[in-house]
Amino acid sequence: MPQVETSTPKNLLPDILNEFQNSNPHCKLTYLEDDKKILLEKLWNSESIKVILDIEEFDKINDLNNVIIDPKFDAIIHKDTNQIEFIYRYIDPGNEIQSQFLTRKFDFFFNGEKFSCEFKEPTDRLLLLARGFYKQSTNLEEFIVPQLVQFRDSQFIKSLPSKLVEYFQVRVPRNFFISSSKSIVDVDIVDVAKHLNIIMRYYDRQSPLIVIHEENEKEANSIKKPKRFIENKFPDIITITDIDDFLLQLLNVAENTTPRFAFVYYYQVIEYVAFYYVDNKAKKELRRLLRNPTINECRESDLSQIIAFLAEKNDSDDVKMQKVIEDCCDPSVLWREIENDKEFFSNQILFEGDVIIPALIANDTTEDTWKTMCTPKLQQYLAKIRNAIVHAREKRQNNVIFPSDTNTVLISQILPIIRRVAEMISLMKE
């Protein structure tokens, strides 16, 4: 790779890509003076994407001043033609599914506005960016806009291995375009794309979808790692009895699904056990009382116990869950999970969807204080989150936890404690 100069000639970049830089402040432009090239970095706000442009292609480079790159999309926006060009792929005309996208074209009317949509060949602007593209990172998780690889390689077909040459020989490039009847910069492209995805898949289950990269306010890598050990080390001897099959299934599925669904599955563990736990507990205590040889005396204390058992059986679901947590969960173990991310749990959570969850603890909460407040505080905390995920609309609430990336990060931070609750209940219940 050429040496990148720190200085940029004042007589060059302002004349060539000044407007591009103004429209794309997240991008970095550097002039490689020795090689007469321009280095573009962070085009999609990603360190993995770099593009080198040859200054000799002055007219084509100058044309990029009409381009806006929104990191939320694998696309480029054309200001002058009021179009957004979503990068798709090379398709095989002989493939029954892919051939549908050779010439698909339709008009989409949304909120009184007309949008013309079609699959067609990529623009020269997109091909220019693809031609100079290379990825610096080898980490696939950091690789943004992978479609650019095909559009780059196809322009250097003579230097490709024979298998890749054959690949491109039987395929044609296609991108998906949305043209607006008004200025494209005034269009809420995210909203349009979400509605388009729904309607395109409604009419064609094989239709490609527009990928929307949510802008997280909190990066996923900022999440505190959960406590590794429940104690200081892994035990030498473990004894366990059979776990209910349904609970076993819930725990295993929750371990391998998205944070949103995992939270719901762990909460189902609490609900399921609470439904049967109090009932079984009451039966057990009644049997013990009825087997008492002096039961015929029917003492006042015995009657009080029977009434208490029956009353407990009729408790609300929330109260039953609180009792299960109290009986099966060790507050000290739960405190370790909370203390591991104390700053998070000591602040209110604002979910996208205007759901506000009060802080679980105060800044000055200690382990001893936590032991006195663990229930019903924890159950109420988890119930509010669960209700906002599952059935906020059923309860005619206006607020709901949206299925967004930002909310996924927040739910991920709550998972360690509800997971620990679900596991302890499954292991400790009788």
Q: 224 and 199 share a domain?
A: no
Judge whether 2 lies within some domain: no
Judge whether 39 lies within some domain: yes
pLDDT at position 289: 61
> Rounded to an integer, what is the distance from CA 80 to the centroid of its chain?
34
pTM above 0.85, yes or no: no
Give the integer Cα–Cα distance in Å for 393 and 387: 9
Which of these three, 176, 203, 230, is where a domain ends?
203
> Which domain covers residue 195, as residue numbers?
13-203
pLDDT at position 291: 60
The structure tokens 């505080």 sit at 377
Contact present, 250 and 421 (Cβ < 8 Å):
no
pLDDT at position 394: 46
For 106, the 3-state DSSP assignment is strand
For 30, the 3-state DSSP assignment is strand
Task: List the structure tokens of 7.
Answer: 């200085």
pLDDT at position 6: 39
Q: 91 and 144 share a domain?
A: yes
Judge whether 3 lies within some domain: no
Pair type for strands 133-135 and 49-54: antiparallel
Judge whether 153 lies within some domain: yes
Give φ, ψ of 78 to 5 degrees. Answer: -100, 105
Q: CB-hemisphere CA count at 13 Å for 341?
A: 20
Q: 241 and 309 share a domain?
A: yes
Q: 199 and 66 share a domain?
A: yes
Q: 148 and 274 share a domain?
A: no
Query: Tens place of pLDDT for every residue, the chain, 430 residues?
Result: 333 343 444 455 446 888 999 999 999 998 887 778 999 999 998 888 899 999 888 889 999 999 999 999 999 999 999 999 999 999 999 999 999 999 999 999 999 999 999 999 999 999 999 999 987 655 544 567 889 999 999 999 999 999 999 999 999 999 999 999 899 999 999 999 999 999 999 999 999 999 988 765 445 556 778 888 888 888 888 888 888 899 999 999 999 999 999 999 999 999 999 887 655 555 556 566 656 665 555 566 555 555 555 555 555 678 889 989 998 999 999 999 999 999 999 999 999 999 999 999 999 999 999 999 998 899 999 999 999 998 654 445 568 999 888 899 999 999 999 999 999 999 887 6
pLDDT at position 8: 43
Q: How far apart are the first and last CA of the chain?
A: 66
Judge whether 8 lies within some domain: no
Q: Is the peptide bond before 376 cis (omega within 30 degrees of 0)?
A: yes
Judge whether 209 lies within some domain: no
Q: 233 and 373 share a domain?
A: yes
Which of these three, 203, 229, 263, is where a domain ends?
203
pLDDT at position 223: 74
In order, the DSSP letters of 329-388 are --HHHHHHHHHHTHHHHTS-EEETTTEEE--SS-TT--HHHHHHHHHHHHHHHHHHHHHH
Sequence letter at residue 303: L
- Domain count for the chain: 2
Q: 119 and 268 share a domain?
A: no
Judge whether 208 lies within some domain: no
Q: 96 and 187 share a domain?
A: yes
Q: 197 and 228 share a domain?
A: no
- Contact partners, residue 76, CB within 8 Å, separation at least 6: 67, 68, 69, 84, 85, 87, 123, 125, 126, 129
Q: At what angle do helices 331-340 and 367-390 cross, to 10 degrees?
A: 80
Q: 149 and 39 share a domain?
A: yes
Among 134, 162, 119, 131, smallest CA distance to 60 is for 131
- Contact partners, residue 149, CB within 8 Å, separation at least 6: 133, 135
Q: 319 and 192 share a domain?
A: no
Judge whether 424 lies within some domain: yes
Cβ count within 10 A of residue 20: 21
Beta strands in 17-161 (DSSP E): 28-32, 37-41, 49-54, 67-68, 75-78, 83-91, 105-110, 113-120, 133-135
Q: 197 and 50 share a domain?
A: yes
